[in-house]
Structure 1
Amino acid sequence: MISRMFSRFNISIGSVTHQIFKKPTSLSRSVIARKFCNEIARPENFATAGTMNDVHIKMMERIGLEPGYSPIPRSREHLIQYQPSSADLPPRSMADSFTSAVIPLSSSKSLQDLYVSYLGHVRFGRLMQDMDLFAVWVCHQHVNIPNLDKNIHLPYTFVTIMVDKIDFTDFSPKGTSDIRLSGHVSWVGKSSMEIVVWLEQEFEGTYKKITRALFLMAARNATNTGPAPVNQISPGNEHEQNILIGGEERKKRRIDHQKMSLLKVVPSNYEQSIMHDIFTRITRKDTIQLDKRVLPANGKWMADCSIMNTIPCFPEHRNAHNKVFGGFIMKIALENSWVCAYLHAKSRPKLETISDISFEKPVDVSSFLQMNAYVTYTEMNFMVVMVVADVLNPTGGRMTSNVLYYVWKCNESVPEVIPGSYHEMMWYLMGRRKLNYALGLTSGV
């Protein structure tokens, strides 16, 4: 294990200088499958949804919602009887669910005000919110119930389970040009769906890629009280077959990650050597008082590399069941991570990768949502920021609803973050895994 790690890094124990070698160039079967998923296979005839506002309106109509807030959501209990069995659902190709929508920034000054940053670029938090909504719309395109009367609303609810690794290109989207979202279902389970979503922006007559994201969605019944079956995938061609293979491998990788989580297993031998190295670096050599810590040069304690923001939730950001829309949480978390990274580096960072986003618990629209952002790992000019979203109970207590990881990059080296406790050390090692995974150096375990 240690020899394998030394082959990837030139590490001097007691020094914080790590030289990262180039990524491996050999293409494994999983890399080839991921390559196919990275390419947009746009069918000749596919459903264009219009604008993202049109998407929102169409989804509300399909599930039977009307504008206007009520503290008690409109009952959908009567739709339970229309939930199909797996046998009632015909197989679907990926092309069947392919759709696209546009954010018309070029023609809407009001939208420009919502999306633009102070430098004129598009706010990535806003785009993440749109991508989450669009992923739900793709689910609507995939689920097909032939025997459902057209006058009956869709007896389904779709919720986000997690968002997989998201890489961003060097193209910086502007706040005055249209942005196109495209996507389709790339893998299905019994009641879950993986959705691939691309973001592109019009630039000099063509569309430039901004990013690609993988959303893992759960199909639930009309009242969101149990799972609902989904149409299986019948690949329409070899390209779709390769994408489906990649989906199966990503499912296996997610299971492996869960098994190797530091919440379940002890750190590896090499990770334990990292822990000991940090311990020796922060322990004074001229005293036997082991509780006296010394901060290394150009280092900052992890406890001093965090920010916290508490916001009240409102019906403006609700879904059909008066829960906070997952895309809104993603937007707030990303923007908090950016602030945390900016303050730590003292220069404007660039978003490189979103390693993963997990959705643990739903958030009521009456909740107080506390966002805690921590710089958990740094290496050269990279920073890993972990954001923990907690739901606060006014009478006491809290519950974690989301955990999100972001990899930021600066032009210059950033201050090293130093864990000050065993708890923070585990965060440090998790951050290190996220960075290695983001850079393609390891599987992230």
Structure 2
Amino acid sequence: MAHLSRAALRRLSVATKSDRRHSCPHFIRAFPASSRAFHSSSPRRTDGVFRELTEQRVRTPWIEALRKRQAEERYPAASSEQPSVPKERKLTPKRMQDSYSSVVLPLAQDPWLLDTYLNSSGHIRLGTIFMDLDALSGVIAYKHTGDDVTTVTASCDRIVINHPLHEICDLELSGKVTYATGRSSLEISMQVAKAPQAGEKVKPEDVLIHCTFTMVSLDPTTRKPVNVNPLIIETPEEQRLYKLGERNSKIRKQRKDTALIKHTPNDLESDLIHAFWQKQLQYHDPYDELRKPDNVHFMHDTRLQTATIMQPQNRNRHHFMIFGGFLLKQTFELAFTTAAAFAHARPTFVSLDPSTFQNPVPVGSILYLTATVVYTDPPLIGAPGENVDQDSKYTRVQIRVDSKVRDVEHGRSKPTGQFNYTFNVEKNIRVVPRTYQEYMYYLDARRRAEQVKETLQEEGIGLSPQTAEDSVTE
């Protein structure tokens, strides 16, 4: 094509349009069936959000949404500051099944769709699946709340690999609201599984991912929380799911109440800080033969950063803020890169641990992401009475990704979220904090790791590093 003249290209374009009008039998014969047809505009293939979910998320072209907002800014309505959702409105209790939604990604059937989900080694990019899960959580939330409120992602409480995939197959994403008391927040439980045959149900061993998202409903005008419909519990299984939601809610409150930003470390944690400080003194003591081993790295040396301008193509359904799933994909891929750079080995995803969306990310802002290795398990120094296998072949690496935004003029800055990812690496490697801030990062990550380990043991979820390595996902 590079050697065709402009005139030839014009003739080809005219012939193509003519052939399309007349079913183009000779045109079809000229090109193999496997070739992609010409289009006047590119098809709506997005990076990781399946078209059925994209249509729910973006309903108006950006130029129309922008012109509408510019018109509203020129001629603001007198009642623009009044709540658009009345305080007293009828909130009829709903069943869990009322919000159930599912979508099948035909990855095994559609190679061009699969093309948007694969990485360079032929593995499914989990970041793209996370985008789809966040989009699906929005669909589920609005089925429960209705369209008169604005519902946003407040936190991702957990994403865990249950069973690995051993081959590329069609995937079913499904979920429903499993916890809602009638206040502004609701918890959505979702799963990704091998798509079952028609008339069959998903088998437990076919579930790839289980996850929970917390959503919050706001008044579209005032951006203040508004109440949503409570849930009706009908079966023992629904009772179990509801109790899990209660437990997760209590854990979130407990984590907030005991956060290191509010309280000093406890006695055990203070002893750990002191032990790390003593270890570093040994490393630098000219009269001590102990030196920092090659597999031990200081935390500040593990840091990676990115800066990206937020474009409208990644907006949410309310047009002027960035879609939460896009942030999950960006933070996951930076965390993956950080783990790989730290270990010089290919990481295997274990879990997205409790993470928060603090503030929205506006379209047009500049997003700064900072990823740091904040904890390794086994640790370099264990707590008293803790059994630590310092010769373990595998290490669990926890990556903290902090996000903030600035306007283009760099006049204002605000934090937008913290995301915590855990990976397995086939390497005996350790991270060591040095500054007080790094010690707080380390202790916060240690608390998170212990808490996640307890909940996974309670539910019998989790993979061995060897099993996880065989998966066709990252």
Structure-1-length-normalised TM-score: 0.77
Cα displacement (A) at 1:187: 0.8
Q: Which residue of 1 aligns with 2:351?
A: 353
> 1 CA distance for matches of 2:123 and 2:160?
18
1:178 aligns with 2:192: no
Q: Which residue of 2 aligns with 1:17?
A: none
Q: Which has the higher strand share?
A: 1
Cα displacement (A) at 1:396: 4.6
Partner of 1:210, secondary structure, is strand
Match of 2:112 among 110, 113, 121: 110
Cα displacement (A) at 1:297: 4.8
Q: Is the 8 A contact 2:105 2:171 kept in 1?
A: yes
Q: Which residue of 2 aligns with 1:38?
A: none
> 1 CA distance for matches of 2:166 and 2:125?
9
1:439 aligns with 2:453: yes
Q: How does 1:128-277 map to 2 (within 5 A)?
A: 128-143=130-145, 154-172=147-165, 176-189=168-181, 190-202=183-195, 208-223=206-221, 225-277=223-275
Change (3 A) 1:342 1:285: closer
Change (3 A) 1:350 1:73: farther
> 2 CA distance for matches of 1:102 and 1:54?
9
Q: Which residue of 1 aligns with 2:124?
A: 122
Q: Which residue of 1 aligns with 2:337?
A: 339
Match of 2:310 among 301, 310, 313: 313
- Residue-by-residue CA offset, 1:261-310 (whole Å, 9 max, x unaligned): 11111111111111111000001488699xxx964552111111111111
Structure 1: stretches of 5+ with no match in the other structure: 1-50, 145-153
Q: Is the 8 A contact 1:391 1:398 kept in 2?
A: yes
Q: Is the 8 A contact 2:83 2:222 kept in 1?
A: no
Greater Cα offset, 89-98 or 71-80:
71-80
> 2 CA distance for matches of 1:233 and 1:72?
39
- Residue-by-residue CA offset, 1:224-278 (whole Å, 9 max, x unaligned): 6222321111112222122222222221111111011111111111111111110
Q: Which residue of 2 aligns with 1:407?
A: 422
> 1 CA distance for matches of 2:327 and 2:284?
48
Cα displacement (A) at 1:211: 0.9
Q: Is the 8 A contact 1:375 1:384 kept in 2?
A: yes
Q: Which residue of 2 aligns with 1:94?
A: 96
- Residue-by-residue CA offset, 1:316-354 (whole Å, 9 max, x unaligned): 001214111111011000000000001111111111111
Greater Cα offset, 416-425 or 331-340:
416-425
Greater Cα offset, 73-82 or 107-116:
73-82
Q: Is the 8 A contact 1:193 1:216 kept in 2?
A: yes
Matched letter for residue 305 of structure 1? T
> 2 CA distance for matches of 1:203 and 1:348?
31
Q: Is the 8 A contact 1:337 1:373 kept in 2?
A: yes
Cα displacement (A) at 1:434: 2.0
Structure-2-length-normalised TM-score: 0.73
Cα displacement (A) at 1:201: 2.6
1:395 aligns with 2:395: no
Change (3 A) 1:227 1:321: farther
> 1 CA distance for matches of 2:219 and 2:419?
27
Identity of aligned residues (%): 25
- Residue-by-residue CA offset, 1:359-380 (whole Å, 9 max, x unaligned): 1111111011111110011123
Q: Which residue of 2 aligns with 1:298?
A: 295
> 1 CA distance for matches of 2:244 and 2:67?
42
Cα displacement (A) at 1:142: 1.4
In the alignment of these two chains, the number of paired residues is: 375
Structure 2: stretches of 5+ with no match in the other structure: 1-48, 379-394, 458-474
Matched letter for residue 400 of structure 1? P
Matched letter for residue 424 of structure 2? K
Cα displacement (A) at 1:442: 10
1:71 aligns with 2:73: no
Structure 1 or 2, whichever has the larger Rg, is 2
Q: Which residue of 2 aligns with 1:371?
A: 369
Change (3 A) 1:281 1:106: same
